[in-house]
Structure 1
């Protein structure tokens, strides 16, 4: 067993086609999260059950947990070659925001491909990454590839509405699922921005935090139309 094998053109084509077909399949399952538990259906659990089938095909067991019936999250572990290495959580979310069919030129939950593009709610946020995750881990199993770190594949419900019924519930009720995990990787990344003539791939290490601060400055009082050289507001803004 090894963590690398030569990548052939045939393997690349299979990875690509599997990622696309799996994504299209998952898009066709309407897992709309309205943000209201009374109107959000069981699509999240149905997506998780379909993901479980893809994992089961290559011999990877998984566990479905539900905060309430229909609001499912799925977890699967992949052993690493170095048991002492901190585990890596690779995670995505199975819910999508609502889509009004009349506003779409294609059915939002059909997963149709037109002119080489896959259309539908969730193709970008984020059933596409789930499709890639599954294609890669299925490739690992077929080729006998063992990652160095243990992996936890996590597919959460309710990301689009604060995670209350998904990640937050799982962390509170089933913290054992994350035993041995030290790092996590998910969406947002992979695109580049040009900086000073070079290509920069940004890496996010935190998001949406809150930091409170009290700032004081002294200066002469003045009206905005009559600025002074020692205006306190200007000093703070600077």
Structure 2
């Protein structure tokens, strides 16, 4: 049973979502402010965090920044509907996914299951190595030139999809389906933001380029090393 931490200052909504998640087989821990939510997230007994962005006192974005300083656990944000700025900032800080509030509980369950499924090591898939980049799917480990890369589960999956299609363009729609676990919505920039984060963490090729290239109007391509 996966244990999920739900952090939201709306007590009634938090309890309602908690009851729904419990009925769907999750072990749920509730907190109503970021000050108590961060220690609970980092206590070592939580598999994923659902984090509201707009909270009094310490904001959800500040809490996310603290969590990412110590952990790569899956984090799903709840954002105000239409608040693209907070949504993009949250993704830039390392959130794996987001849902606008008010959210459909069934959609929350689906997104949680997807992000948790993506974070579990799989015995399928041998080590994948292209130039200085190495992925070990069975251990969920990534390296660049022998140095460990601190990738979130979403970043790891994006890199794996791109590397398995080296030299070929992968559309944003396909990346969203295969790496984020859901269709790409209209005006959704989450794939672009995750790719931007991934580029910052990867090294450059000998010619100074990023190994992940944008193919305008089509998607992204992991280029072959020469």
Task: Answer 1 or 2: which has greater helix percent.
Answer: 2
Task: Answer 1 or 2: which has greater strand percent.
Answer: 2
Of the two structures, which has the highest relative contact order with CA contacts closer than 8 Å and spacing of 6 or more?
Answer: 1
Name the TM tier (shorter chain). Answer: under 0.3
Larger radius of gyration: 1
